[in-house]
Amino acid sequence: MSNVYEIITEQIVKQLETGVVPWRKPWSSELPCNLMSQKAYRGLNVFLLATQGYESKFWLTFNQCQRLGGRIKQGSKSSLVTFWNVGEEKLVTDKETGVTRKSRPFLLRYYRVFHLNQTDGIDLPRAVFERNKRNQFEAIEQSETLAESMPNPPRFEVSDAAWYRAANDTVGMPHRSKFSTPAEYHSTLFHELAHSTGHKSRLHRENFDNPVIFGSASYSKEELVAEMTAAFLCGLCGIERQTIENSTAYLQNWISRLKGDSKLILSAASAAQKAADYISGKSAEQSEQSESEIQEREAA
């Protein structure tokens, strides 16, 4: 029987095999959220739900639908939402060193949700359903504010290409006029800022200080973290993620990577959410704890 990691990885691989790259596919709606809690989904759940093409951002469980007096349309297929079940803190003694430390077990679990369009009979005030999508000016303005307000930002310099250099903690960006649209500029900027969060002065991601060889496993994961982070931030601001042509070689590389490591996609998504939280000035630890508590209640 497949575990949660394998189930989720299989879903992502299926999208890649049809030419869809979840972390590069732009979505026009806001970040998906639960209809009852009004809380946005986080991490990999954003890609599992937002790339399905629905215009509305609302999702709910079967039980929630029933509590609202609605019903699921016949033939509708549910979607997975993952969350961490956090156990009670315990004292654990290392058998080799004899050192005792506090430990809290984490178990990856999932439950199923349906999109609002897959239901009938739910009668709530119109204001609940009205989308609050920002206009283009507001979206770009928020993108500007987000980038400028990043805590402990890296240095910047104008360059003929976009890059991040960890050795001197610097982001290089072409001038804005070199980009086709403001959204393209900010999407690229978010990608490079995402790389900078791995620096030791910020989140200090695992293996970030080791030499990164193009095409290696560490390079692939770091690129995946940066692309997902940019997608999260674009969704948060309401701008469309820049669309990049996906070559056969690019798709096959990710299919091979994910099939070889079923935990890669969830690990990268988790790191990307932390990076997005850092750039937007949020406490990742507090957000994740709140997220787990909310989603565990929804799954019940």
Comparing 16-20, 37-41, 124-128, which segment has the lowest mean pLDDT? 124-128
23: its two tokens: 């972390």
Q: 88: which residues sit within 8 A by CB, 6+ positions away?
A: 104
Instruction: Specify the pLDDT at position 269.
Output: 94
Share of the chain above pLDDT 70, in %: 85
| Residue 51 pLDDT grade (very low, low, confident, very high; cuts 50, 70, 90) | confident
**DSSP reduced 3-state for 300:** coil
In the 8-state DSSP scheme, what is residue 40? B
Compute the average pLDDT of residues 122-132: 70
Q: Where are the domains of the chain?
A: 4-299
Say which residue, 135 or 77, is predicted with more confidence: 77
* Lowest mean pLDDT segment, chosen from 102-116, 150-164, 242-256, 278-292: 278-292
Contact 254, 21 (CB under 8 A): yes
Write the pLDDT tens digit of every residue in 152-177: 999 999 999 999 999 999 999 999 99
Residue 194 near residue 231 (C-beta atoms within 8 A)? no
Query: What's the pLDDT score for residue 243?
Result: 57
| pLDDT at res. 71 | 97
| Whether the predicted pLDDT of 115 surpasses 60 | yes
Band of pLDDT at residue 10, cut at 50, 70 and 90: very high
Could you tell me if 146 and 280 are in contact, meaning their C-beta atoms sit under 8 angstroms apart? yes
